[in-house]
Structure 1
Amino acid sequence: MKKLFAVALALVLSVGIFAGCNASGTSSSAPVSTSAPAASSSASPSDDPTQMTAEITWWAFPTFGQENADDPAGTYEQKIIEAFNEKYPNIKVNLETIDFTSGPDAITAAIEGNAAPDVLFDAPGRIIEYGKNGKLVSLDDLFTDEFVKDVNNDALVNACKGNGTAYMYPISSAPFYMVINQKQWEEAGALEFVNQEGDRTWTTEDFEKALKALHEAGVNPGTLFCQGQGGDQGTRAFISNLYGAEIANADMTEYTMNSEAGVKGLETAQKWIQDGLLGNGVAYNGGSDIELFKTGSTSFTLCWGTSTQLVNQATLDENAITTLSLPFPSDDGVPALEYLVNGFCVFDNGDDTKAAAAKEFIKFVCDDETWGPKNVVRTGAFPVRASFGDLYAGNEEYKLLSGWTKYYAPYYNTMDGFANMRTEWWNMLQAVTNGDDVTAAVNAYVENSNAGMA
């Protein structure tokens, strides 16, 4: 049964992953360092946080959109650091930018090598896993009564916790969804099957009609990407929505995609791939699928969000691509959307002063009266704090997306074994794409995912 959240944020509450849907599609083999203001390298606690002396390292995925299209990754983040140092002159922040393709492995390697950063900007899926594994500092003290009241959303607050402990401090949130190339769909005669009124909800039947129209016109569809975990929340939402499958049970104790509805959704996707209506995505993850879309090589992507739009807008403009945001099609026309939560965690590197300095830094980024709202806007998402108000006044697209809170599905990303489930998911999709028996593949996925919860 699809669950609808009754309480919305001020506008809307990532995805997505990934959280993968924030990816720009770029990759690198290692974090990229950016210079930071000088400060003493010694660390000494102080009753006055502004006089604290410490040196910390911040790893950042490309979630903050740069202010100018030609600005390299990390340019805006460096401005945040400079503003922070006006208030905290003795805390040196070393910025290292990572990407969504190689970044997750780089974090894992750093943790295993006892070289984790002090601060990471990411999403709950990975952060809560790190916390449950004892790698993070508790952030319970940041979740004051005032903050929780301002957020006014128990589901989002709980998404930042693992086993009752807060490990992530959130700044913004937004839904994950799909997006189409409006011109390509219109020229192919596929746009007529898209509901452009109200919330733009549509059915699986109409989506299939659109796929056939694209195919007959010789227009490439999007792919069911499954090369790796990047952006995998988009494919899970897509498959589960087709016929109303539940990814997990109501109390989040087991994965349940081997239901009749789940099997039907996977069998339908398999047939679409075999018929050429849906792209074979074995060679692509979410980031590379986005690359195909933003260059006009495919006509839709299942991996999108507000941050993705912001990060890739310049390229879309260069390629004369006008996007149309759509919720995932569903059998009953009522989608169940996953959503992104952007936020920070602090790694436990055995230094209380560095941890305290890291907390002061993330509070500044998220809560500063001047920089907090600005930073939310640069994520392309919506504030978790209701007190920040409407940061996108006059933006009709964001007004539409803010109404999609009522379609938010249960948040399963903080379940035990979530990281293992993600690996099992794309392995299963590869098997389905290659023509293997769907029931056997999804049963193995569920069995292995549930075994990984132990």
Structure 2
Amino acid sequence: MKLKKLFIAFLISCISLNITACTDSIVRPAIDDTEISLWTYPIGDWGNKDTVAELINDFTEIHPEISVKVNFLDYKYGDTEIAAALKTDQSPDIVMEGPERLVTNWGKRGLMVDLTDLYTDESKDIYENVALACRSNDGKYYEYPLCMATHCMAINKKIFQKANALKYINTVNHTWTTEDFFKAVDAIYQSGHTDVLNIYCDGQSGDQGSRALINNLYDGSFTDKFHQSYTIDSTKNVAALSALISRKGISINPKLNSSDEIKKFRTGKLAMSICWNSSAQNDNSMSAPGRTTELDEIIPMKFPSPTGSSKLVSGIWGFGIFNSGNENKIKAAKLFIDYMANNPKGVRKAVKASHFFPVHKELTDVYSDSKFNNTMTLFSEHFMLSMGDYYQATPGWTEVRSLWWKTLQSIAKGNDIRKALTECNSKANKIVESISGSLPNN
């Protein structure tokens, strides 16, 4: 990550002389003038046109031979847009998202370019678990990571104070036990705020929230520890979901998506959100960062567990390249990724735009001069250390995500919890068998 002045001078001279091998990061090819397309999901300010335009301008100053056309996706229709583009051979050159799409979906289907050549000396300080999540079980890397985060909960401090429920949380460590979580729910409901928590399931967006709440409540899991099969219908998960929906103040809402849940929380209609992270805490689109629209303080919280020690679902975001067969565009796309994810100037601005944390261990000062520094320090010290394993790498993940929210919808209609989870798990493991040939014995 640290480039000496002499090396920078050498790199510039290499580019000006059109030499093909100029850095240790990747081979710098001599490419023809070309336009590449970047489609990005709303990862922090990577969904902001002005921010992305500035990032691209920095890149094109170094590579004026490459122009970048951007399409901004959302999580409600983004997957549909990409699916339609794939059917008409109009897929983007670069897409920015996470391993569950880039690796276990499009990569697994043979649609992505192998990015193994990007993993060189510049990649040695990338967290091992992050790099592993970007590699498919065929040994190829279909994603080059930029940033990471842990997802958590959040509470409305004023509502908790009014219900005398702050005593049930550890405000220093941002933890609470399962017992105290339910005590808080009861206290808030009895105080007159009857809409305490909604388990949204209108689609897959933000589905990590429902999984994390259910898995942590009684120390359950969604997959086995080797990420080779699913354990959705475990006794612990059945008990957790049963306890949740039988509680007054908690409901499954099949017409609510994650964005709507956040809006309900930030406008004070919900006492808790299960779809939170550092980016949400810093967001100022509806109110001041860390505040509701009524300026009530928002306190981020880990998910409740029997001991208070929870495993947070991690998020990893980076870049993948759809294989268009056009080598010139592929080379240009790799240069773009290398700049955004490795260049000392580029990576700092690119990570900061995400509102998340760098995947490079040596990159520790991204937010030191930022207005978000206090929030990022809070999440770094109290939430990132609780990051669980990246079980989204389990075979069939894309299809199983769809099974999950549809199962929650089924339960919301009154279907038996154990039966619904058993059916979901059975279908999930049949998908694994169809991919792997058999279900591993763990």
CA distance in 2, matches of 1:260, 1:334: 20
1:136-175 equivalences under 5 Å are 136-144=112-120, 146-151=121-126, 153-163=127-137, 164-175=139-150
Which residue does 2:287 correspond to in 1? 315
State the partner residue of 2:25: none
Q: Give 2:190's match in structure 1, choosing from 216, 222, 242.
A: 216
Aligned to 2:335: 360
| Separation in structure 1 between the aligned mates of residue 30 and residue 192 of structure 2, nearest angstrom | 61
Structure 2 contact 31–328 (Cα < 8 Å) conserved:
no
- Indicate if the aligned counterparts of 1:295 and 1:315 stay in contact, CA closer than 8 A: no
Counterparts in 2 of 1:23-38, with a 5 A limit? Answer: none
Partners of 2:128 and 2:323 in 1: CA distance: 26
Name the SS for the 2:37 alignment partner. Answer: strand
Return the structure number with greater relative CO, CA threshold 8 A, min gap 6: 1
Contact 1:203–1:331 (CA under 8 A) maintained in structure 2: yes
TM-fit CA distance, 1:308: 2.4
Is residue 100 of structure 1 aligned with residue 72 of structure 2?
no
Contact kept? 1:100, 1:287, Cα under 8 Å: no
Cα distance, 1:182 vs structure 2: 1.5
1:305 aligns with 2:305: no
Residue 305 of structure 1 and its aligned partner are, at CA, apart by 1.2
CA distance in 2, matches of 1:201, 1:149: 33
Q: 2: CA distance between counterparts of 1:323 and 1:49?
A: 49
Q: Deviations over 1:11-31 (max 9, x none)?
A: xxxxxxxxxxxxxxxxxxxxx
Whether contact under 8 Å (1:266, 1:432) holds in the other structure is: no
8 Å contact from structure 1 (residues 365, 372) kept in 2: yes
C-alpha distance in structure 2 between counterparts of 1:379 and 1:185, whole Å: 30
- Identify the residue that residue 441 of structure 1 maps to in structure 2: 420
Q: Where does residue 424 of structure 1 map in the other structure?
A: 403
1:179 is displaced (CA, Å) by 0.8
Question: What do residues 284-326 of structure 1 show as CA deviations (whole Å, max 9, x unaligned)?
Answer: 1212211211222212110111122334455355541421111
What secondary structure, in the 3-state scheme, does the structure 2 residue paired with 1:370 have?
Answer: helix
Q: Which residue of 28, 31, 41 corresponds with 1:61?
A: 41
Q: Which has the larger radius of gyration?
A: 2
Residue pair 1:282, 1:430 contacting (<8 A) in 2 also: yes
The answer to whether the 8 Å contact 2:174/2:301 transfers is yes
The answer to whether the 8 Å contact 1:136/1:345 transfers is yes
Residue of structure 2 in register with 1:408 after alignment? 387
Choose from 266, 271, 294 the match for 1:294.
266
Contact 2:147–2:359, Cα closer than 8 Å, also in 1: yes
Deviation at 1:80, TM superposition (A): 1.0
Q: Which residue of 2 aligns with 1:378?
A: 353
Ranges in structure 1 where 5+ consecutive residues have no aligned partner: 1-44, 67-71
Give the Cα–Cα distance (whole angstroms) in 2 for the partners of residues 362 and 245 of structure 1: 37
- SS of corresponding position for 2:125: helix
In 2, the alpha carbon distance for the partners of 1:260 and 1:388 equals 42
Secondary structure in structure 2 of the residue aligned to 1:172: strand
Q: Which range moves more in the overlay, 437-446 or 98-107?
A: 98-107
Q: Is the 8 A contact 1:46 1:52 kept in 2?
A: no
Say which SS state the counterpart of residue 274 (structure 2) adopts.
strand
Shift of 1:202: 1.2
- Name which of structure 1's ranges 205-214 and 216-225 shifts more when overlaid on structure 2: 216-225
CA distance in 2, matches of 1:191, 1:155: 35
- Superposition CA RMSD, Å: 1.9
CA distance in 1, matches of 2:404, 2:31: 48
Would the alpha carbon gap of residues 46 and 353 (structure 1) be closer, same or farther in structure 2, given more than 3 Å must change?
A: farther
Residue type matched to 1:206 in 2?
Answer: D
1:262 matched residue in structure 2? 237
What is the TM-score of this pair, normalised by structure 1? Answer: 0.84
Secondary structure class of the residue paired with 2:348: helix
- Residue type of the alignment partner of 2:250: L
